[in-house]
Structure 1
Amino acid sequence: MKKQYLLLAVVIVITFIAGFYTGVFYSTKITRLDNQNIIKVKQVPKSAIKPQLKEIPKTVPTKTKVLIGYVQDFRDPDVVDYSKLTHVIFSFAHPTKEGNILLNGDSALTNLRAMVAKADKHGTKVMLAVGGWYHIKGGESYPYFKAAISNPTTRTKLVNNLTKLADREKLDGIDIDFEYPRSSSDAANLAVFTKELSNKLHPKGKELSIAVYSKIHAEAGTVMASVMYDPGMFKDVDHVNIMAYDGQWDGGYHAANLSPYPFTKNVVNYWSNLFKTYHLSKEKLVLGVPFYAQPDNPSVKQVSYAAIINKYPANAETDTVSMNGTIYHYNGETTMRMKTKLALDNGFGGMMLWEAGHDSKGLHSLTGAIFNVLKDSTQQFATTNR
């Protein structure tokens, strides 16, 4: 019995010693693998394999280009495709000479509030435009706006009233549409007004934009000196919305000059060079395009792009149509895509349209055509900068 126990003890001791040295040999070999990164065994337990560290992908911030749509105050807020617009600009609040502001009755205020509610669901910003071409009291808006911003007291009053309205209606900002500063004093007063309004809005996290004349004669291609701006004021705004349309009035009435592509190229070149000269960011520049058609016969009214496409959908890719006994000139999908690419190639911050209520729904939407070019450029930027 003692011999059996003795034999068993010897076996256990031998087994233990053999296991110990095997473990030492194995652990030594793994240590060498770790230190020298040389694999000398056919198979290593999975638990002994160190996971290879991968470089964490760099996240590149997406450059968002704006797509700004003006909407007239009488429009049904449901006509707007909020999902494609970054900003909606409700048009217009009318300035008085005393520095007050007027809206077009209770219906305008109702539409504004409905628009704010609908836009909020899509993360779309809502701004209020002050000014415009026509005034609610009749005639041009120019003399009312000019008087309000020429006097320091009425100018500050207008600034305060716009700020209060923006706060009360939960707006994301104000758009200045003074059509147009026609003297150096006009330009100086507009610059002071812009600065004052900027100082009120920006600390509240609200935006300030300004609509500007194209400054280019659609027929001659020359720079028009009749409209004046102080370039220094552009540093106080977030967006400069260039109204690159309504060229049909240049050099006599010619409907074809509404907003042809060569005219737009001249406009883009002018504003690009101006901003470069004054060391301003071209990301502030927003190229405006028309969503309406101009008739050859001036006694015939303008029509919307939607009115053309609803009747002649095949004309979505062209820029002219024969309708109502006259030829209409407009910008179709092809031209809109070309203009959007032109703006992007020149470093502009996006596109603007006048106005959303003129657009066609569905497949031939001009808003959709512009949106797709902007979206593709954003995706391409994110891909090429990874």
Structure 2
Amino acid sequence: MAEISLNNINKVYGDDFHAIHDLSFDIRDGEFMVFVGPSGCGKSTALRMVAGLETITSGTLTVGGRVVNEVDPKDRDVAMVFQSYALYPHKSVRENIAFPLLMAKVPKPEIDRRVEEAAEILELTAHLDRKPGKLSGGQRQRVAMGRAIVRQPAAFLMDEPLSNLDAKLRVQMRAEIASLQRRLGVTTIYVTHDQVEAMTMGDRVAVMKAGRLQQVDTPQALYNRPDNVFVAAFIGSPSMNLYEAELDGRTLTLGTNSFDIPDAVFEKRPSLAGAQKRPVIVGIRPEHMDDADVRPASAQIRARVTLVEALGAESMVHLAIDAPWVDAGDPDAVGEIGDGKAAVARFSPKSGVAAGDTATVAIEAEELHFFDPETRLSIW
């Protein structure tokens, strides 16, 4: 096991494509760290630099206190688990798991012991003599994990290992991987574009955008205290609803709706106190909105219902709010009132609203998020 430190890591391809910009943070010994972000944000490139599969243009990478910038991948004491499993189809499960130990010329009795131990941990004992083609996707992923485990590395590096599985199996496997990592206590870096995976698996999560680190923190801290509009929009499912608004004293004006902000907001965000017609971006998470007829609140707005998705335990209600919206997928874009962008709210299944209704929406104003329209940073 080992601590991994990235210090001002940069990756430049050719003369003009700067893929990673000054990436700096520490991954603690035994920690499960998740890199998350949209496609093309640089998360896999960062992982491959840790593995030694990509060269580092500048900066320092250390594993267990040792600078490894120029160290070959095979000598970094890390094990990679790929998206594609990368199993040998002509070899048995036993032979696939044992392969890295054979290459390292580990004595056969030790190979057998480690393979049997890994197979027991991963519930593969009954499949050791089968070929990968006879296994399910989840079982093949376990074989790939077993091949990494037997090496007893200082760190596991996993690049979107569950993306080839169906939705139900992904949920099962992410729980199994997280449980296994905690059992083994091995430092792990896990790359995913799925923020639900990131939130449920990681001890901490590093959110990236366009090759830059946006924020690194625990999943709950990212949810409660996002540093900027991008993190706020990316963390949480469905995404946070973001609108341009104006704060004047205690009154928040959101398009054609206005309501007073409770004292708790100003206690939590003292920089908002005394604002006079201050433009802000306000963020409202779907779970902090409900049908006012079912769950009343002091803050209420009127909105037109455009779609109701009944999911049994809750209803996803799409709402047209008369206010300029900030695009959750592209926080640099702002839409005009009435041009089709709908907020999403988690309504109680007891709500009777239907598409076409004008609903009174209760908002938990204590849970609102506020951002500066110019810097897009959170206001505290």
Fold agreement, TM-score > 0.5: no
Larger proportion of strand:
2
User: Larger radius of gyration, structure 1 or 2?
Assistant: 1
Q: TM-score, normalised by structure 1?
A: 0.29
